[in-house]
Structure 1
């Protein structure tokens, strides 16, 4: 089966923002529809999948997953043809936060442009192969990194649509402070990184500022995690429309009648939720309100104040607790 747009420019819905903002759940909900293919955080494919042979969201190791084997064959003639060291060196020259000011320019020098387009072409090939393998019309990449989104904005032959996902900085800081085991790691044990409240504040501000800047180069839609949890059905409709997909009542059935065993996505990296065997439920996680220490909360609140104000996290009913007022 061939996707409607596979012969032309593959269409990708790129989920951007700082991690721990609900992107995995949102991606999985979208992926329950046959016209959507969710591939997780492709930015980590080169190191975690090709390098460490970690588990795909389906449960198989990357090298044993039929989906990724087919994608590799269609995109590159097999993953063995990909020079991983060369890709990682290229990634270092292109896909880093420090390169965003350069990527935000209206033009690039010949050598820089060649690097950026060669790097973006790797992803374009993967997206196209994913649509061809599944018959989906849209690929969801939840890599989140603004630097990758900027690189993709220079791609030739890619229909890029960016979802800028935002969550209250204090909730994000609380989540990044927890130690979370990475179940995709097969050989040994590993945990997701942790960051201090001040580090999270810097990352949260930098990533969100970058996606504001990206809006001059790509189609960007902003969504607050809190609004998603209040109206998940409306959010799915809005995102499908943004991605150029038709309104489909069946796409919302998972919210009204969640199956005991939802479809697993062939996702690279991401929240451990993608390995959950139970139904997907949408609820707002507000644990930070009582568990984030007062001092940490004060640091994050002050350091991220400008964007919290911009996004409606200050002075809006329901967004602040009594002690914030």
Structure 2
């Protein structure tokens, strides 16, 4: 059975950083955002975290061979059809309430399960990390056969998330020809509420969920990684955390299939909180996000209103 650590939460919450550090642990293989693999990698042949085009990456070629007898055998149209039928935020109440899943849910989940199992076999890892983030996909994956699903729910102050969504960020995997999606602060606040609530619902459906706050993770990454390794069932020694220094991490080459541009970083990565929003997010937008997200801010231990 493939043991899968699924990183969930709204985008721009720090999941790529958590994934990169987890990927440095022994017996862990970080795969990136598998939810995007079908289009961006199989069809568009974008760049793997190692820098090679997906079709030229030895790791992913071997995964495709084991999972499907080659990526050319994957019916991407069928995957997209299933995604549209079952993996949408508006379907979460139906997914969460189901006692017996729709056959389409199991079929869609099976595509992911085959990738997880093949990646574990190719890498020799005990745990694979999928940083897809999507709450609806996490609800789908609880029905995946042969998957030991453990969810890490990553939460960040929604005002920091909102500010990040307003920034223009190029996508290196598209060789600068494309940019990451942007949202208004009001839109990102509503999404923050919806996605985080969905992960709380997942925990009430019997799935193992561990919530971490981005800010606390960066305050003590050594302790946070030790806790997550225990959650994933990976024994650690001090030597296993040798890539962590005082305020930095030394990263090797990874094979993240999709995600934040940080997945291409190799070498020394400073570990510091991105609190630019405190100075740069206009006061009116800060107050708007605080008001929209107020109840859940309190639940997660954040101040509802925070001025610069």
What range describes the TM-score normalised by the shorter chain of this pair?
over 0.9
Displacement after TM superposition at 1:282 (Å): 1.5
| Secondary structure of residue in 2 paired with 1:73 | helix
Match of 2:253 among 257, 260, 264: 264
| Secondary structure of residue in 2 paired with 1:40 | coil
> How far, CA to CA, are the matches of 2:113 and 2:239 in structure 1?
29
Cα separation, partners in 2 of 1:226 and 1:257, compared to 1, 3 Å? closer
1:86 aligns with 2:74: no
Q: Write out per-residue CA displacement over residues 265-301 of structure 1, whole angstroms, 9 at most, x where no aligned residue.
A: 2112211111123312321111100000111111101
Cα contact 1:39–1:140 (8 A) shared by 2: yes
Match of 2:115 among 126, 144, 168: 126
| Secondary structure of residue in 1 paired with 2:273 | coil
| Secondary structure of residue in 1 paired with 2:268 | coil
- In the alignment, what sits opposite 2:55? 63
- In the alignment, what sits opposite 2:134? 145
- In the alignment, what sits opposite 1:238? 227
- In the alignment, what sits opposite 2:278? 289
Mind listing any 5+ residue stretches in structure 2 that lack a counterpart?
none
Displacement after TM superposition at 1:250 (Å): 2.3
- In the alignment, what sits opposite 2:16? 24
Displacement after TM superposition at 1:34 (Å): 3.2
Match of 2:203 among 202, 215, 238: 215
Give the count of matched residue pairs: 307
Displacement after TM superposition at 1:261 (Å): 6.1
Which range moves more in the overlay, 244-253 or 223-232? Answer: 244-253
Mind listing any 5+ residue stretches in structure 1 that lack a counterpart?
1-8
Match of 2:36 among 28, 33, 44: 44
1:205 aligns with 2:193: yes
> How far, CA to CA, are the matches of 1:242 and 1:260 in structure 2?
21
Q: Write out per-residue CA displacement over residues 28-53 of structure 1, whole angstroms, 9 at most, x where no aligned residue.
A: 11111230000000000111111211
Which range moves more in the overlay, 302-311 or 249-258? Answer: 249-258
Cα separation, partners in 2 of 1:260 and 1:300, compared to 1, 3 Å? closer
Displacement after TM superposition at 1:232 (Å): 0.5
Cα separation, partners in 2 of 1:56 and 1:105, compared to 1, 3 Å? same
TM-score by length of 2: 0.96
Q: Write out per-residue CA displacement over residues 49-75 of structure 1, whole angstroms, 9 at most, x where no aligned residue.
A: 112110000100111100110000000
> How far, CA to CA, are the matches of 1:258 and 1:38 in structure 2?
22
| Secondary structure of residue in 2 paired with 1:104 | helix
Which range moves more in the overlay, 126-135 or 253-262? Answer: 253-262
Match of 1:193 among 178, 181, 198: 181
> How far, CA to CA, are the matches of 1:269 and 1:180 in structure 2?
15
Cα contact 2:244–2:250 (8 A) shared by 1: no
Cα contact 2:31–2:128 (8 A) shared by 1: yes
> How far, CA to CA, are the matches of 2:244 and 2:118 in structure 1?
29
Displacement after TM superposition at 1:259 (Å): 9.2
> How far, CA to CA, are the matches of 1:173 and 1:258 in structure 2?
25
TM-score by length of 1: 0.91
Q: Write out per-residue CA displacement over residues 5-27 of structure 1, whole angstroms, 9 at most, x where no aligned residue.
A: xxxx1000000000111111111
Which aligned runs of 4 or more in structure 1 are off by greater than 3 angstroms?
Answer: 257-261
Match of 1:172 among 121, 143, 161: 161
